[in-house]
A and B are shown apart, each in its own frame.
Chain A
Amino acid sequence: MSSELLRSLWVATGETLYMTSVAAVLVLLAGLPLGVLLVITDRGGLWERPALSRVLGTLVNVGRSVPFIILMVAIVPLTRVLVGTTIGTTAAIVPLVVAAIPFMGRVVEQGLREVDAGLVEAAVAMGATRRRVVFGVLIPEALPSLVRGTALVVISLLGYSAMAGAVGGGGLGDLAVKYGYMRFRTDVMLGCLVVLLVLVQLVQWLGDGLASRFERASS
């Protein structure tokens, strides 16, 4: 592999990391509250709001059922409004975030639902406010599974970001398609795959490590 191609690989990795990490932060910021709302507005929840719960549930299901490649082109107008362009790495972040928020919401919801209802009941019986029950009981108790879920979402973002690259977003996906596939450069293709593999492993390892640290603390 020539030094020029190595440079491309280096740049592409940077772009992928940029897309994925910015998207991950935004997804976390939006997905956590969404997941909390999905849990507490449900019937028998801490803040029962059946109508809101249904609306959120439907939105999440719609978001989850649109294939990413279609979502990406379908929300082009939104992307244009938000970042002023529809091409490039920054533009690719918009569909990434939109696609992953519902996913993150469900992951958080599932984690929170695993928390024993008796703990919530105990906290309510002690006179805790809703806010304290959520931040003082639900989230700390669900922390290991929230961390694992986040790793899962970040890994999916890496995959999505490769797809976003294919339609002009840059990054490893872009490089792999343009050089590895279209110009029959197997070495570039392999290079991209290896970098992606390493990234996925890293995220998984980090997630597992953090999660089991939290678990060890409480067992």
Chain B
Amino acid sequence: MIELRGVSKVYGQGAHEVPALRNVSLRVEFGEVFGVLGQSGAGKSTLIRCLNLLERPTTGEVRVDGRDMLALGPDELRAARQGIGMIFQHFNLFSSRTVAGNVAFPLEVAGCSHAQIRERVDELLALVGLSDKAGAYPSQLSGGQKQRVGIARALAPRPRVLLSDEATSALDPETTRSVLGLLRDINRQLGLTILLITHQMEVVKSICDSVAVLERGRVVEQGKVVDLIARPGTRLHDLCYPRSVPVDAAAAPGGRRVELSLVGEHSTRPILTTLARRFGVDAWLLEGSMERVGETRVGRLLFELTGPPEAVDGALGFLREQGLTPRVPHV
């Protein structure tokens, strides 16, 4: 649905060159919610603006919905942009227009008739739950309501792709959850592909299917969110499970330190007590945490197994038989 190939963006010239994106490639499948996670200054804003050419990449290729964006003429580009909705951190609502007027704007751009506009605006305000605010001005709304108007406005011309530029960063946690829930619903109901940029791990965990981690203009990690979180050593895993106990620290005499990732149904089984019962080992829990990633539970356990060496080996073997991959750091 969206594809970037070898995209670089350099600001300034000569000695003042500042690279914002370096050779970024990524692929967003149809109907997925794709997150780009990064600190401020990582190049996220530039990246999202390269998709609808608010910024023109210095080099590389941008394809959205099968179109080679960089090959489009001015009129074609405007038409393509009507098929790519965008929402913003600071909402960017027109203060001189009412809520209905804001939602109507892209429809006016698309050349719809008054009757069509009125019908579509009513439909969208109902979708985002703001039918009673049609005549209000943006300054009379709360942050969450403003972003809902932003979403309605972005959806008005029935785009195939929605770009979200830190849409929840200016909102409090509860409003963030409700706006993310709305985005999730839209994604499901309308089959809309969403690309969002964020610096909040929470956003990635709660609604993204896939993610790319951006650091200093480079994609350093990309894949399914669940897979990356479940795989130790990835940045996502580390962000999800901050460590307080060093994994490689010396274990108790005769003990083995074990790190385990649990995904999906594995996370619902009583693993430690099973080991204790079947192999007569003791399991000392050092760290443990369960996260909800979308609808999947993903957990990480760090524990120490003590007991006769063959019992410990047996226990580790059992874990492997279960399809788990216990990591036993060498001490």
Contacts and interface: CB of A to CB of B under 8 A. Distances in A.
Interface of A: 116, 118-119, 121-129, 132, 136-137, 140-141, 143, 214, 217-219
B105 A218 contact: no
B52 A218 contact: no
Given A140-B97, A218-B96, 4 more contacts: A123-B105, A126-B82, A127-B80, A136-B108
A125 to B, nearest CB: 4
A213 to B, nearest CB: 12
B95 A121 contact: no
Contact of B109 (A116, A126, A214, A219): A126
B88 A128 contact: no
A211 B96 CA distance: 12
B78 A125 contact: no
22 contacts: A119-B92, A119-B94, A121-B54, A123-B105, A123-B109, A125-B81, A125-B163, A126-B81, A126-B86, A126-B105, A127-B82, A128-B78, A128-B105, A128-B109, A129-B78, A140-B97, A214-B96, A217-B137, A218-B97, A218-B138, A218-B139, A219-B139
A136 to B, nearest CB: 7
A141 B92 CA distance: 12
Contacts, number: 71
Contacts of A217: 96, 137
Interface string B71-96: 00000011111101010101011111
A143 B96 contact: yes
Nearest to A125: B86
Interface residues of B, number: 30
Contact of A132 (B52, B82, B109, B139): B109
Contact of B90 (A118, A126, A143, A214): A118
A214 to B, nearest CB: 8
Contacts of B314: none
B106 interface: yes
Contact of A127 (B78, B137, B153): B78
A189 to B, nearest CB: 45
Interface in B94-123: 94-97, 105-106, 108-110
User: Main SS of the interface on chain A?
Assistant: helix
Given A126-B105, A127-B106, A136-B105, A141 B95 contact: yes
Contact of B95 (A126, A128, A218): A218
A141 B94 contact: yes
Given A118-B88, A118-B90, A217-B137, A126 B106 contact: yes
Nearest to A141: B96
A141 B102 CA distance: 12
Nearest to A219: B139
Contacts of A219: 95, 137, 139-140
A137 B95 CA distance: 9
A5 B77 CA distance: 68
Nearest to A128: B109
Q: Which of B80, B92, B163 has the most CB of A within 10 A?
A: B92
Given A118-B90, A122-B86, A219-B139, A127 B96 contact: no
Contacts of A119: 92-94
Contacts of A122: 86, 88, 92
A137 B82 contact: no
A141 B97 CA distance: 9
B81 A127 contact: yes
Contacts of A125: 52, 54, 81, 84, 86, 163
Nearest to B52: A125
Contacts of B97: 140, 218
Contacts of B81: 124-127
A110 B78 CA distance: 28
Contacts of A143: 96
Nearest to A140: B96
B49 to A, nearest CB: 8
A127 B94 contact: no
Contacts of B95: 141, 218-219
Contacts of B109: 123, 126-129, 132
B215 to A, nearest CB: 25
Contacts of B108: 132, 136
A137 B92 contact: no
Nearest to A121: B54
A202 to B, nearest CB: 26
Closest 3 A/B residue pairs (Cβ) = A127-B81, A122-B92, A127-B82
Given A121-B54, A217-B137, A219-B137, A127 B92 contact: no
Nearest to B95: A218
A218 B54 contact: no
